[in-house]
Structure 1
């Protein structure tokens, strides 16, 4: 028994040491999200989190293209973002007015960005556009439920589909010898990144978020599936990229110009004009349920999101509550680093929900018991 206790202590100490090292970043010091000198296409870039992201990317040396509907807000945001440029003499900025709920518009956005970018596709595409209409399900018109899915899921899906088809086509990154029609693949040593902005609402069902949570949960599921599928193309590129660069190799295999990484960012409450509008719509019980949740400014959420990407994160939460929810609800999602921290916190969160879950349900039930419910006619 004494020997067993010794070995148990050794294993526990090793576990805690690995856990600490993982959280301190010893296993992932490398910057996995290089943006200096690269072009980033960002939807929803005229206000809120998008504006904060644009400014921080500008400070890090990126060329930034922002997309939104309102031209005046776009122009104001573009001036704000470009003013923060790390290298004003070399960095470039552009704004595109578009309706991202249209598949054709997403294709146009990519085409315009590619032309503006000297014929090269953007290196990073961030599907950040989204709007929350936090109302009770039966009080929400069907048109609103449909529009919430359009802006919060389909807009990002259209952009993902068009972007990945562009990035994964060898012809988008080849030089062709007109004399013999041979193509030489130009490979990029840096990865391309496609990023989806979901929400912590994807992790937890909450009274009053029925129009918004399902499309955000669908985005997380899309990210999981794309992360798995991209291994197919990245693996193919890894196996054939060397001989594809050899001009004398007649049997060269066509490959994409760069590896592609998928990420999903899950912010929580963001203090922005959009949040103020949401508060006016929310049922009082929704406000009560999230009263103690931490909030971040647009700059704080942008900084946290990009820190997570630089650390190589796949499912990136931006504040402590989101990180705890993420760890407890990972399911089959890709873990970061060695996954030690996720495994530990996930177990703890499972126990926490034994208390938090019934407490939240009890608050909603008590609200109904007191008669403060609007029933359909």
Structure 2
């Protein structure tokens, strides 16, 4: 009996490896899980950097795009840039909203204004992308800055998610059957976190905790929306109009005006820790993020280092690619044996060789 068990275990393992390898090589091409053609997309932080790159690419894919930021002048310039990249449909539309997304009432206004602009229909995709990094050593950071970093990097997304989901999860006004309900594509709420949610680096005390909180929020929302998706499945004429999907994107370093500002306050030791990190343009990070969404991913990275860090801290997070994620999860602990020692050694040596500012 033991021999039979080993035989079938071996057969199952080989079959799993063959299927997973074929999947990685593209033999199984899944349906696009994020088709935005003709859909209305809202992107906060859309006037520059990653947000502008996302808006441009989504415009190329046929979406109606609404960008949100504080500076109207930057919004106007970005809107012209984004609309010039449109797919070419005469029906495509573009809009900009000036708002302070750190305020809950402003996020409610954003969803309300977009719904009115969208002929009374809520947006199909909402991307909480606004954020900014102000790296400093923790004890050198004014407490007011600790709070403001949490406001823009966590509460802005949390408030937008709250307003969006309350809009999306209202009872449908259309008498849907099970068949028509099943045919409705889901709406997507997307949060931009950061690779710093996977690792603690000296200098990111004001910024990384908020981005880690976003990853936790996404995990919770992903679980909670299934309550409403399940109710809708059982009650198509009473539940929300569509299912809702939650996603979390974790980019690394992006060449952008935000990076230029970030580098003005970044401690020297943080530069050392990041010196070998991969960097992406706004277009590269947008393409990688949207590709992950089109594949149906939940926790999405945009470059190899982020994928490695993600694999080492997945826990109960869904696997985007079963074979690849499983293999990375097996390998990553061994890589960490060397990586952690290297990172900690760099910080220690920097402290030994440089004059350190001590609190007075």
TM-score range, shorter chain: over 0.9
Q: Secondary structure at the match of 1:364?
A: helix
Aligned to 2:336: 353
- 1:255 is matched with 239
Confirm whether residue 233 of structure 1 aligns to residue 228 of structure 2: yes
Structure 2 SS opposite 1:174:
coil
CA RMSD of aligned residues (A): 2.0
Which segments of 5 or more consecutive residues in structure 1 lack a partner in the other structure?
Answer: 176-182, 245-253
**Contact preservation (8 Å) 1:66, 1:94:** yes
Question: What are the residue-to-residue correspondences of 1:275-314 with 2, within 5 Å?
Answer: 275-314=259-298
Is 1:139 the counterpart of 2:140? The answer is yes
Unmatched 5+ residue regions in structure 2?
none
Which stretch shifts more, 117-126 or 186-195?
186-195
Q: What residue in structure 2 maps to residue 204 of structure 1?
A: 199
Task: Write out the 4+ residue segments of structure 1 that deviate beyond 4 Å after TM superposition.
Answer: 1-12, 25-28, 183-188
1:6 Cα offset (Å):
7.2
Quote how far apart the aligned CAs of 1:304 are.
0.4
Residue aligning to 1:174: 173
Residue 9 of structure 1: how far off its partner (Å): 6.1
1:106 lines up with 2:107 in the alignment: yes
Matched-pair contact (CA < 8 Å) for 2:21–2:323:
no
**Number of equivalenced pairs:** 356
Aligned counterparts of 1:332 and 1:346: Cα–Cα separation in 2: 12
- Where does 1:25-40 land on structure 2 (aligned, <5 Å)? 25-26=26-27, 29-40=30-41
Partner of 2:164: 163
Instruction: Look up the match of 2:310.
Output: 326
Q: Is 1:70 paired with 2:71? A: yes
291-300 or 232-241, which deviates more: 232-241
Range with bigger deviation, 35-44 or 9-18: 9-18
2:131 match: 130
SS state of the match for residue 77, structure 1? helix
Query: Is the CA contact (8 Å cut-off) linking 2:17 and 2:323 kept in structure 1?
Result: no
Could you state the TM-score of these two structures normalised by the residue count of structure 2? 0.94
User: CA separation in 2, counterparts of 1:322 and 1:192?
Assistant: 26
The alpha carbon displacement at 1:336 in A equals 1.9
Distance in 2 separating the partners of 1:197 and 1:212? 13
Residues 56-104 of structure 1: per-residue CA shift (max 9 Å, x gap): 0000000000000000000000000000111241100000000000000
Aligned position for 1:92:
93
How high is the TM-score relative to the length of structure 1? 0.90
Q: Comparing 13-22 with 3-12, which one deviates more in the overlay? A: 3-12
DSSP 3-state at the match of 1:261? strand
- In 2: Cα distance, 1:257 partner to 1:78 partner: 30
Deviation at 1:35, TM superposition (A): 0.4
